[in-house]
Amino acid sequence: MTPIKNCILNKDTSINPIWLMRQAGRYLPEFREIRKKNTNFVKLCLDSKLSEEITIQPIDRFGFDAAIIFSDILMIPYGLGQEVEFKKNFGPCLGNIDLDKFEKLDDELLTNKLSPIYDLLENLSKNEKLKNRDLIGFVGAPWTLLVYMINKVSPKNGLSNTFFKDNILIDNLLNILDKFIKKHIRNQIRAGATIIQIFDSWAGLINTNFDKYLYKPTSSLVDYTKKLGVPVICFPRGIKDYVEFCKIVKPSMINIDYNTDLKKLLNDVDIPIQGGLDPKILLTDKNNLKIEATKYLEFFNNHPYVFNLGHGILPETEIEMVRELVRIVREFK
């Protein structure tokens, strides 16, 4: 059994598998070379040959225990027909919402539009370099996709005062997202994904009606994925109560951020845990990296744990620091 699945399904604590969120991306010089020639990010995500090359790049360099596909959570809004553009030094920009168009969208139209992602997974599932490694597919959680679709840009400065104004729009979008995210999950699993991760990147912005925006929509996806026989990892970044989340949502494994109360988590959560290290630690020095990484390894020494970060690896991270992190994890006794 692959290391991460073994950790999740058999609660194995004999090793600490390692992979990193955004491991296929901007910190790699070989990725930057591809990106220079491919300025349209959406088109790059939908180029199955280049996406395969990018997905494999960190495996070639560091030998991580899992590959996560090179794609983006905003492929769902794109697949629904909302305009999605990534602007340099700014981030994603989304167009207007056409609710009537979304509601009339046929399942197969979304599948056809996103078919290069499924081609990517099929190709990767046959790639010898991924033998004995997990192949992670992923989706954005309904709340985070809702935020991008309504806000139209990254909500790093918070949500607008009018965000919650149109309840009918919000309710309809949540229903539409539930349907099509599930379709995307199913398609990824059929194409070869062995694990699904649900990224709720903006879960920390929820300060009202947690049941509606966080627990119910995520539970729906978790239950669906489990019924397809595949483990599901949840990353509700920035929430204050991971323990409550785990009790209600019941993911196969929980990915934590770097502000998590580890002692409370370990006392009250019995499922496997992933992540936690602040990606900024990789911007310091090797000695500090060893101290901080070892804290997590020692803390979760007797608990099923997959080493990862508390958010995606930063683009300014040096290659040698990533190599050192892998060495620290591999040599930990």
Please say if the pLDDT value at position 1 is more than 90. no
* H or E segment and range at residue 305: strand 305-306
| β-pair type (305-306, 232-235) | unpaired
Average pLDDT, the chain: 96
* Residue range 294-321, pLDDT digits in tens: 999 999 999 999 999 999 999 999 999 9
User: 125 is in which domain, residue-wise?
Assistant: 3-331
Q: What is the pLDDT of residue 88?
A: 86
**What stretches of the chain show up as alpha helix (H) in DSSP?**
3-10, 29-37, 41-45, 48-62, 75-80, 99-104, 107-113, 115-125, 142-151, 167-191, 210, 216-227, 242-249, 262-268, 286-299, 319-331
Mean pLDDT over residues 101-115, rounded? 92
Give 177's pLDDT tier (boundaries 50, 70, 90).
Answer: very high
The total of structural domains in the chain comes to 1
Please say if the pLDDT value at position 202 is more than 90. yes
Please say if the pLDDT value at position 83 is more than 90. yes
pTM to 2 decimals? 0.97
* CATH code for the domain of 302: 3.20.20.210
